[in-house]
Structure 1
Amino acid sequence: MMVGFLWLVSYLLLSVSALLNCNGGYGVSALLNDDVLGLIVFKSDLHDPYSNLASWSEDDDSPCSWRFVECNPATGRVNGVLLDGLSLSGKIGRGLEKLQYLKVLSLSHNNFSGSVSPALELNDNGLERLNLSHNCLSGVIPTSLGHMSSIRFLDLSENSLSGPVPDNLFDNCFSLHYLSLARNMFEGPIPSSLSKCSLLNSLNLSSNHFSGNPDFSSGIWSMKRLRTLDLSSNLLSGSLPDGISAIDYLKEIFLMGNQFSGPLPADIGVCLHLNRLDFSDNLFTGALPESLQRLNSLTFFGVSNNMLTGEFPQWISKMNSLEYIELSGNGFTGSLPSSIGDLRSLKCLSLSNNKLTGNIPVSLVSCTKLSVIRLRGNSFNGSIPEGLFGLGLEEVDFSHNELMGSIPPGSSKLFETLLTLDLSRNNLQGNIPAELGLLSNLRYLNLSWNNLQSRMPPELGFFQNLTIIDIRNSDLYGSIPRDICDSGSLKILQLDGNLLNGSIPEDIGNCTSLYMLSLSHNNLSGSIPMSISKLIKLKILKLEFNELSGEIPQELGRLENLLAANISYNRLTGRLPVGSIFLELDKSSLQGNLGLCSPLLKGPCKMNVSKPLVFDPSAYINQISDHRRRNESSIASTSHHHMFLSLSVIIASLAALFIIFGVVVISFLNVPEVHQQENSSCLILSPLQIGSAIQSRYSTTASEIGDGVFGTVYKISLGSQGRNLAIKRLVTSNIIQYPEDFDREVRVLGKARHPNLIALKGYYWTPQMQLLVTEYAPNSSLQTKLHERLPSTPPLSWSNRIKILMGTAKGLAHLHHSFRPPIIHYSIKPSNILLDENYNPKISDFGLVRLLQKMDKHVMSNRFQSAIGYVAPELACQSLRVNEKCDIYNFGVMILELVTGRRPVEYGEDNVVILCEHVRVLFEQGNVLDCVDPSMSQYPEDEVLPVLKLALVCSSQIPSSRPSMAEVVQILEVIKTPVPQRMEVF
């Protein structure tokens, strides 16, 4: 600091001296020293970690010999300072003002901070090139920039500049050829004065927050010298009018990631020099303009994730220079023309999630440069052309189609290049080719949900770089290869729903990178290998519905990262491991085993002791037959397995009939009581009433519609009245066993009447079975609409999403504030938010923890199993008081789900994404709108942003920082208020 101060004093004194002696010989020397002093003062404000500016000495008469400084040889004055990429930091000081003949100032790729003002407040002395890109500059653009009429090149990209750009900023841009303000935080409209930059060749305003409808007709389209136009990743809207053809030599246009709508300009094909065009991630509609076929210089064509329709263009082959075709996420119909094989330069063909039909053209084999082909989510049929697997492909995604036939063997070229292969959810048959084991670079393999009927390929162990194997529900048989983890890179292994037998190999412990092991619904036998305890990164372990036996290795308790485990319906015995998640598992993750020792399970507890324990085998059959065979039947029908009815299936059917019979009677007896006593909490049914009701003339139909932590839900249709009800058969474990206690608690729940709560109509109780009768919600659950939506079903609109949030908040507020003590839900998540015919939300399963003998053992042990990602952090700490704040945490996570369309926890190829943290980071970076669900065609930013803020407040790690539900309702009502009337809520 002292050095900087001394040089500033020297600079001021010598400047005065220069003025006093301007007519003498010393005056020239003083003027020359202005360049020295200006640069030394500039240097004094910098940190130069690698001493790049060591040659800059105040003892020199001229700076022309200094590194990174250029001078005019005729005058000896500095005309260029080029300090790019030198790791310099600090402020841009005012010493630069002394460089009166400066033409070029380039400070890019450093760590300069502060404002840009000193660099721009130079005299209008002919500065032609200014590059401050890739720094840490902040603040607004000073108006002085508008006076620099000589500037030809201006790059302020990759900084943290913000605020609106003054509308008159470019009134004097007569010389400007290049302008980039990309990757900052500018907002507001694009300045209309830009159209005065008649010599502009390149305009890049991408990755900002510019909004509104730009002036294309008399503005941007009038800039006839443009070669590159990049407005991508902003908040721009409106339509693109015709007139783009006026830009004679336009080569690149990027508009992706905005909210542009309407049809594409009809005359876009007149821009014959276009090389790259990307309009992806907008709201464009209509068919592709036929003029596009004239663009035979176009190499990149991207319009993915819009709402374009019409037949796939049969003239696509006329665009014979195409290398990349990105048309995914639209509504294109028809088939691919055989002439597509004429695109000999094609490298990437991405047509996923359209409505395309027909065969995959064999002619694609002629596209010898093809490396990426994505056809996911269409209705392609026929077989996979064998020749395709002879190309040097890197990514193949044919999933979610109707392809038949076998998987073609690969070629030596494919073995060296293929990284991703996804053929899931088709009708493929036959063996998995042994040649797949030669794919040395393969990282992702998904053959799930086919009808392969193939032996488990031993070649899977040959993969050296494979990170994900997913071959679920594909009729695989045989044993799991011992060397499946020899590469050590495997992260996800999913082999569920097959016919695999034999034991789990001890070598599974070599999968040291594994964080998901899922082998459920097979015929695996033997014991659980102790080597699984070596999988220290494991987060999910699914072994249910096999024939595993023996005791669970106690060493599995060391798996500290394990979040979810299911070992139900095997033949396991003995104690659960101490530690990890095993002592917290729910009954549904343990039941159906021969002799596990757990307070959640009934029946004998079989220990590995010398004296044998005797138990009743029929009790075991009665315990598991209903649940197990129902699940196996479901799996079998989905994955094309065909079986004859066995004795256990008959037993399960009889059990189901008994449930339906009880439900029918309850429905019949309960209907008149509800109408007679509207304020009554609920109706009690006795066995005597059931007996008399069997004689009733009412006919019913029943079907299972859900299965959760507290039991299975059935839909009952009353034949004569056309009325639907829902029946929940409660799990018997830990449910209150005395009828008077059960009655008291259910009556409390029956009084919780609110438009956004599922109404409790009645109940049935015996020591063996407890049923709850509730109203039926016809529009399924929020889970179904949000995460299990069929491609033909439209996504939830923002108006419905905000309605669901508001209704859920009001229902929770009623539970929290209208009862003393408050009714706490403990499990607010999309599967517990049911929707009526108008998308009004109704909270289900509220207060059911009141029916438990001991709430802590049941709910706490279930926090990872039933609600991964939703659980409030205080539920993991017994020392904290658990109250209604945990519901508010759940609600905050659910808000994020509704806005982003993503699940609270997502397992990627290399990491696990926690939604709360992901959104919080984006908010801190100023890019939170990047996380909004792309399936929403339109949404009001002024509602979405405060709703996201509310979500982050509700999901605070500190319970006391979360608002009450009454406050949440008030905040949502303010957010829904029209903008002119709205007050700030955060």
Structure 2
Amino acid sequence: MVASLLFSCLFLTCWGGNNNGNNMANFQLNDDVLGLIVFKSDLQDPSSHLASWNEDDVSACSWRFVRCDPATGRVSEVTLDGLGLSGKIGRGLEKLQHLKVLSLSHNNISGTITPSLALSNTLESLNLSHNTLSGPIPTSLVSIMSSVRFLDLSQNSFSGQVPQNLFQNCPSLHYLSLSWNMLEGSIPTSISRCSLLNTLNLSNNDFSGNVDFSAIWSLKRLRTLDLSNNAFSANLPSGISAIHNLKEMLLQNNHFSGPLPDDIGLCLHLKRLDLSDNVFTGPLPASLGGLYSLTFLKASNNLLTNELPQWIGNMSSLEYLDLSNNQFAGSVPASVGNLRSLTYLDLSDNKFVGGIPPSLASISKLSFIYLRGNGFNGSIPEGLFGSLGFLEEIDFSHNELAGSIPKEIGLLSKLKYLNLSWNDLHSEMPPKLGLLQNLTVLDLQRNSLYGSIPEDLCDSGNLAILQLDGNSLNGDIPDEIGNCTSLYLLSLCHNNLSGSIPKSMSKLNKLKVLKLEFNELSGEIPQELGMLQNLLAVNISYNRLTGRLPTGSIFQNLDKSSLEGNLGLCSPLLKGPCKMNVPKPLVLDPNAYNNQMQRNDASSSSIPSRIHHHKFLSVSAIVAISAAFVIILGVIAISLLNVSVRRRLAFVDNALESMCSSSSRSGSPPTGKLILFDSRSSSSSSSLSSISNPESLLSKASEIGEGVFGTVHKVALGSSQGGLMVAIKRLVTSNIIQYPEDFDREVRILGKARHPNLIALKGYYWTPQMQLLVTEYAPNGSLQAKLHERLPSTPPLSWPNRFKILLGIAKGLAHLHHSFRPPIIHYNIKPSNILLDENCNAKISDFGLARLLIKLDRHVMSNRFQSALGYVAPELACQSLRVNEKCDIYGFGVMILELVTGRRPVEYGEDNVLILKDHVRVLLEQGNVLECVDPSMSDYPEDEVLPVLKLALVCTSQIPSSRPSMAEVVQILQVIKTPIPQRMEMF
């Protein structure tokens, strides 16, 4: 191919030098051929889509995906969308000097775009979206902006700031999308020069700072403005009404604040307005009432106040209205019933009071209605559900509703989600719920429902969540419960249910959570329940159950709090005798009956006594022999395992080295060079700058933390170009891998661990005397600082943020444990290694750094023990120092307790030492566990905090095998959170 290209070049040169006129046209045609062949040589085409591109052709006009201008015969369009191409964008495109359309979207083209790439100034449309291009936006694009009408660079990994001069000359630009990249900084004010712009999409980047809205408002042709999912801040000034044709304005998930501009409703063509997840304050502007064309309005998660105005009913085209999680008060006006096109209504988590407006029955198209978390009272309006035949989801939970559940609810054939929990509804279970073939979530907990559980409740077979706890239901659990084969959560606790647990529950193969505590259930637990292999959490405490626990599943690992209150259960965790359903029960301790069994006389009791004594010794002997046998097997297994582990480690090292050798690097990493990994592929890296004096970056003033593995510094790289803020960890030199090839291999393996809840490892610096790790910088500090070093003027972490942090840590650890073979173990889970971004999302740092050690020597491990007091799993105190995933899970359990209680894992008093996990366990057994919740949290849901504490105690079990996996922990946390249908898909 190379020889052929050289031949073509020579041929063209000779032809061009000895001919003119018509032959010059032939030269130009071959110029297009040459350019496209060179461009093709930089691509991989696994499906041979470009097979027709032949270098021997005189013209490219007959090639697939290529069009020519019939007037000039020159290539004018190259459209290669969605062909599965990979490789890079080469300079062959520079030959196409009459190109008007270049579209390479939805491929796997990667790498950076050469800054000097000079595309034709005739280009009108450039689409590079949905690839994996990285690096900065090339300044060479400035030269084509005078002609470009359409520019789409979205869905890539472009980073850095947008060139300030990119929009200096953009008279023709109609469409601009830079969304879904990693761009930062501010919007160039020169954007105002693009006077014909009608679509501006900068969403889903890392843009920050104030927005010059005066420049945006000057774009009078603008129809779509999307700045969502960034970190922009500023107030919205008036003047938006100048954009007469604006149809969509999407500002969600930023830091915009202040009141909404009064003239926002004068953009009469607005159809979609999303202001959610900001800090907007004050009332809704009255001008919004004039937006008769608006179909979508979302302003949730702000600080909007006042009553919902009567004019809300004037927005007659609204199909979607979400004002949830604000501070609206008063009653909901009856005019809301005028929104006849509405399909989605969410007024949740405000301060609304009064009754639910009966006028809602007029919105016949309504499919989703959420009113949870307000102060609505009175009865559910009669006939409301009978008029809303399209309802799919209903959430009236956490209000003060009374009366009965309307019977017509059983006629809602499309209903999937029904949540009326945490009210004061007083009635029997509504009939005909079994006819709801699509119902997947039924949550009626914490009401005053009475009567029995309907036998036809599970006739549909689609029910996934059934929560009836905290009512006054009585009677037996019907055998028909076994028809609920899709259930993954069944909660019937805190009722008056009696009878036995039906064997039919063994058919619930998807069941993950079973809560039956605080009832009057009796008899033995069906052994068949041991076949439910998906069970993650079970509570059967405070019933009248007897006999043995089922073998298998989770039952053998239940803690005391899940079993206590059943005087007849057989478990070493419970005091007192157990009652077996056998003719002559074996009683090991007759005194536990409090002398209720009296001996008739000495002669008659002697024989049974001897028999019991004989049986007791037999059992003890069997237990002792079994234990000795298990110990012997354990010693043998450990010896064999040590040999196996050595061989396996050698194999893993060889495999990893082989895997890493396929990366783009050649030879050993250069010493004294900063190696930064590509944003999407950690196997490809580039030396961005030579560091001649690393100490200059790591001053004492820049130090922000110190740990067992080294000190951490906050550093701005490339400050002359705006600066990339990173964290640099200077590793301790003792015991660190000293061979550059080995260091490079291990760091690259850690660099592959990319997850939203992990601090990204961006690269490293290596010399024999100094090793540095370059990581993502988290601007919100550590969890340690938020919990234990908080200033009095700083508000405490709220429960939603604490739960979000816990779930984020769990997801990050699950990724480390389950996405790598061998798994990546953190070794050092504690709050100082949990960092927080600007949105309070958890980012785990320092994971897997022990991979960089020559060995886990006693010095390093003992230092780690001292620095992580209370987080270290008990099994690590032995000489073998066997570290595995269960050790991380133990530390995570301790961190749960620390987040919920606000206390340190070990606290020293004047006369005693408080071990947090033991303290919480005692309070749980006494029924006073909520006393340990952090008092700085003024408001928290008990139905979430309590199971989270129980999960923590399971994670900190003394027996490693009793601890759940991190994947199971993630599932349990997702179940604990109040379920919504969008979360059901993960089950």
* Common fold by TM > 0.5: yes
Counterpart CA distance in 2 for 1:316 and 1:821 is: 54
Cα RMSD between the aligned structures?
Answer: 4.5
Question: Which residue number corresponds to residue 127 of structure 1?
Answer: 123
For 2:278, the aligned partner's letter is N
Q: Counterpart of 2:422 in 1: which secondary structure?
A: coil
Question: Which residue number corresponds to residue 208 of structure 1?
Answer: 205
Question: Which residue number corresponds to residue 312 of structure 1?
Answer: 308
Q: Counterpart of 1:173 in 2: which secondary structure?
A: coil
For 1:498, the aligned partner's letter is N
**Does structure 1 conserve the Cα–Cα contact (< 8 Å) formed by 2:241 and 2:263?**
yes
- Answer yes or no: is 1:46 the counterpart of 2:43: yes
Question: Which residue number corresponds to residue 409 of structure 1?
Answer: 407
Question: Which residue number corresponds to residue 59 of structure 1?
Answer: 56
Q: 1:821 to 1:122 in 2, by over 3 A?
A: closer
Q: 1:91 to 1:502 in 2, by over 3 A?
A: same
Question: Which residue number corresponds to residue 459 of structure 2?
Answer: 462
**Does structure 1 conserve the Cα–Cα contact (< 8 Å) formed by 2:306 and 2:329?**
yes
Q: 1:402 to 1:620 in 2, by over 3 A?
A: farther
Q: How does 1:167-246 map to 2 (within 5 A)?
A: 167-217=164-214, 219-246=215-242
Q: How does 1:855-870 map to 2 (within 5 A)?
A: 868=951
- Answer yes or no: is 1:327 the counterpart of 2:323: yes
Question: Which residue number corresponds to residue 381 of structure 2?
Answer: 385
Q: How does 1:539-938 map to 2 (within 5 A)?
A: 539-553=536-550, 556-557=551-552, 559=553, 562=554, 577=556, 581-582=557-558, 585=559, 587-594=560-567, 600-604=573-577, 610=584, 612-613=586-587, 615-616=590-591, 619=594, 816=866, 828-829=894-895, 831=897, 843=907, 847-848=913-914, 868=951, 877=960
Deviation digits for residues 7-36 of structure 1, max 9, x if unmatched?
543454345345424625433222112222
The equivalent position to 1:360 in structure 2, one of 356, 359, 380, is 356
Question: Which residue number corresponds to residue 422 of structure 1?
Answer: 419
For 2:103, the aligned partner's letter is S
- Answer yes or no: is 1:507 the counterpart of 2:504: yes
Equivalent pairs counted in the alignment come to 692
Q: How does 1:944-983 map to 2 (within 5 A)?
A: none
Q: Counterpart of 1:483 in 2: which secondary structure?
A: helix
Question: Which residue number corresponds to residue 926 of structure 1?
Answer: none
**Does structure 2 conserve the Cα–Cα contact (< 8 Å) formed by 1:467 and 1:909?**
no
Unaligned runs of 5+ in 1: 566-576, 622-754, 759-776, 790-797, 806-812, 880-885, 887-891, 916-986
C-alpha displacement of 1:523: 1.3
Question: Which residue number corresponds to residue 952 of structure 1?
Answer: none
The equivalent position to 1:438 in structure 2, one of 418, 435, 440, is 435
Deviation digits for residues 296-341 of structure 1, max 9, x if unmatched?
1111111100011111111101111111111000000111111211
**Does structure 1 conserve the Cα–Cα contact (< 8 Å) formed by 2:545 and 2:569?**
no
C-alpha displacement of 1:482: 1.8
Q: 1:593 to 1:426 in 2, by over 3 A?
A: closer
Counterpart CA distance in 1 for 2:319 and 2:908 is: 52
Counterpart CA distance in 2 for 1:366 and 1:910 is: 25
- Answer yes or no: is 1:160 the counterpart of 2:157: yes
Deviation digits for residues 657-684 of structure 1, max 9, x if unmatched?
xxxxxxxxxxxxxxxxxxxxxxxxxxxx
Unaligned runs of 5+ in 2: 597-784, 805-835, 844-862, 875-889, 930-945
Q: How does 1:452-491 map to 2 (within 5 A)?
A: 452-491=449-488
Q: Counterpart of 1:532 in 2: which secondary structure?
A: helix
**Does structure 2 conserve the Cα–Cα contact (< 8 Å) formed by 1:227 and 1:250?**
yes
Counterpart CA distance in 2 for 1:521 and 1:10 is: 88
Question: Which residue number corresponds to residue 945 of structure 1?
Answer: none
Counterpart CA distance in 1 for 2:536 and 2:283 is: 46
Counterpart CA distance in 2 for 1:272 and 1:379 is: 35
For 2:403, the aligned partner's letter is G
C-alpha displacement of 1:875: 6.3
Counterpart CA distance in 1 for 2:339 and 2:153 is: 39
Deviation digits for residues 27-78 of structure 1, max 9, x if unmatched?
3222112222222222222222332222222333222222211111122211
Question: Which residue number corresponds to residue 289 of structure 2?
Answer: 293
**Does structure 2 conserve the Cα–Cα contact (< 8 Å) formed by 1:7 and 1:40?**
no
**Does structure 1 conserve the Cα–Cα contact (< 8 Å) formed by 2:543 and 2:565?**
no
**Does structure 2 conserve the Cα–Cα contact (< 8 Å) formed by 1:756 and 1:843?**
no
Q: How does 1:47-126 map to 2 (within 5 A)?
A: 47-117=44-114, 121-126=117-122
**Does structure 1 conserve the Cα–Cα contact (< 8 Å) formed by 2:112 and 2:134?**
yes
Question: Which residue number corresponds to residue 665 of structure 1?
Answer: none
Q: Counterpart of 2:191 in 1: which secondary structure?
A: helix
Counterpart CA distance in 1 for 2:537 and 2:226 is: 44
Counterpart CA distance in 2 for 1:619 and 1:865 is: 36
TM-score (norm 1): 0.63
Q: 1:830 to 1:233 in 2, by over 3 A?
A: same
Q: Counterpart of 1:341 in 2: which secondary structure?
A: helix
TM-score (norm 2): 0.63
For 1:467, the aligned partner's letter is A
**Does structure 2 conserve the Cα–Cα contact (< 8 Å) formed by 1:106 and 1:132?**
yes
Counterpart CA distance in 1 for 2:468 and 2:870 is: 51
Question: Which residue number corresponds to residue 258 of structure 2?
Answer: 262
**Does structure 1 conserve the Cα–Cα contact (< 8 Å) formed by 2:294 and 2:315?**
yes
C-alpha displacement of 1:81: 0.8
Q: 1:291 to 1:21 in 2, by over 3 A?
A: farther
C-alpha displacement of 1:514: 0.8
Deviation digits for residues 936-981 of structure 1, max 9, x if unmatched?
xxxxxxxxxxxxxxxxxxxxxxxxxxxxxxxxxxxxxxxxxxxxxx
Q: 1:6 to 1:446 in 2, by over 3 A?
A: farther
Q: Counterpart of 2:183 in 1: which secondary structure?
A: strand
C-alpha displacement of 1:517: 1.1
Q: 1:22 to 1:81 in 2, by over 3 A?
A: farther
Q: 1:220 to 1:495 in 2, by over 3 A?
A: same
**Does structure 2 conserve the Cα–Cα contact (< 8 Å) formed by 1:784 and 1:831?**
no
C-alpha displacement of 1:550: 2.0
For 2:590, the aligned partner's letter is F
The equivalent position to 2:136 in structure 1, one of 128, 134, 140, is 140
For 1:868, the aligned partner's letter is L
Deviation digits for residues 677-700 of structure 1, max 9, x if unmatched?
xxxxxxxxxxxxxxxxxxxxxxxx
Q: Counterpart of 2:384 in 1: which secondary structure?
A: helix
Q: Indicate the percent of aligned positions where both proteins have the same amino acid.
A: 51
Q: Counterpart of 1:86 in 2: which secondary structure?
A: coil
Q: 1:545 to 1:782 in 2, by over 3 A?
A: farther
C-alpha displacement of 1:800: 15
Q: 1:93 to 1:609 in 2, by over 3 A?
A: farther
Q: 1:545 to 1:870 in 2, by over 3 A?
A: closer
Counterpart CA distance in 2 for 1:821 and 1:464 is: 44
Counterpart CA distance in 1 for 2:837 and 2:254 is: 20
Question: Which residue number corresponds to residue 494 of structure 2?
Answer: 497
Counterpart CA distance in 1 for 2:433 and 2:917 is: 54
C-alpha displacement of 1:349: 0.8
Question: Which residue number corresponds to residue 398 of structure 2?
Answer: 400
Q: Counterpart of 1:81 in 2: which secondary structure?
A: strand
Deviation digits for residues 688-747 of structure 1, max 9, x if unmatched?
xxxxxxxxxxxxxxxxxxxxxxxxxxxxxxxxxxxxxxxxxxxxxxxxxxxxxxxxxxxx
**Does structure 1 conserve the Cα–Cα contact (< 8 Å) formed by 2:153 and 2:179?**
yes
Q: Counterpart of 1:410 in 2: which secondary structure?
A: helix
